[in-house]
Chain A
């Protein structure tokens, strides 16, 4: 299989990579670009651990071909903090113990950020439905919902 050259912007930086035609964006991010913050929990779009945004839209990077990213803007967990300053969601996840093992955390943070950009003042139910595609097996989701709401409140206040 002949590799395909892809030009993208990742977390604001221009980025070029080669990928196989059947290679997913997740595999390209993890394997070729060293961006291992997105995780593969299932490879079939059922767990959300590989969540990134593609042109501002929340997607599972396991359900996107690397080749499809040509010309796209991609944001991953690695770009969420501003230098050494954590995003309020990241801070509140730590403060509210919204992670235990942490494997689902990058995907949930990326998804929650996308939610708050769309709706700065969601109800708990909105958060729960928005995050339904992000499986967490450790926390029972309770502290995740609280952390998202705490971050949302802070961001609204800012």
Chain B
């Protein structure tokens, strides 16, 4: 195995595309090193992107924030601006692993790991976040929602590296929230999760909504019908019931050591309902 601390995104992309063997990109490393330890992968090349200038920075951009791919989630959580604008995205990112893991793990890494249960991903997808990628043929932008391809797989092409993620601007009355279910209070992988992002109209009803579920299908799921169910409402009980039902209908989970199909389906609806209420309150909505 070779270790390369790339000095530029270009160097990283070129090294990755030139390598014929197995490669891994090292940002926080909290998934990659676990894979190394367990022997799941034996890379020929590891490219550490943390020494690329600017890649560990958070920069305001067009009313939103550009989050460098190597920004540890603990740093993200300490950024008052991002927390105020996208609290749900940050709470998802901050739920990953322990305090120790938070000191290393990144949203981009969570996305590239390809797990349908990644805690950072539903919030990013609900936020319509855009990833910026450096690849052998240059730079491109890609909605975060289009990156997951299945358990452990992404749509990234060989040699492509995410260098940053843009959290867009949002209107005045907007809020988001993320909830997951785990058996303990910490340290588990989500058994089911839900992110909800809402914008309210001037009348205080929901004008736009995006509901995203995690851990209930091979990738995170954007549940259009669940979002639609909230439009024009103040989240009364009947609307929340329709939201939960739409979420349950969108679930296509597996039975495994972490949860059953029935449990994941049921809790996905519950979490979406609870997350919607939190997002609504954050947006300034009142019932």
Q: CB within 8 Å of B: which residues of A?
A: 1-2, 4, 21-22, 24, 43-46, 48, 51, 54, 57-60, 62-65, 67-68, 70, 111, 114-115, 129-134
Contacts and interface: CB of A to CB of B under 8 A. Distances in A.
A62 B5 CA distance: 19
Interface of B: 1-3, 5, 26, 28-30, 33-34, 36-38, 46, 48, 50, 72, 74, 97-101, 103-104, 185-187
Nearest to B37: A43
Contacts of B97: 45, 133
A22 B103 contact: no
A46 B33 CA distance: 12
Nearest to B38: A44
B3 A67 contact: yes
A99 to B, nearest CB: 19
Nearest to A19: B3
A59 B103 contact: yes
Contacts of B26: 65, 68
Nearest to B184: A132
A57 B74 contact: yes
A21 B42 CA distance: 12
A21 B99 contact: no
B46 A133 contact: no
Contact of B99 (A64, A67, A70, A133): A133
Contact of B29 (A2, A46, A58, A64): A64
Contacts of A62: 33, 37
Given A1-B1, A21-B1, A63 B33 contact: yes
B103 A65 contact: no
Given A51-B100, A58-B100, A133-B97, A64 B33 contact: yes
Contacts of A67: 3, 5, 48
Contacts of A63: 28-30, 33-34, 100-101, 104
Nearest to A114: B99
A45 B186 contact: no
B1 A45 contact: no
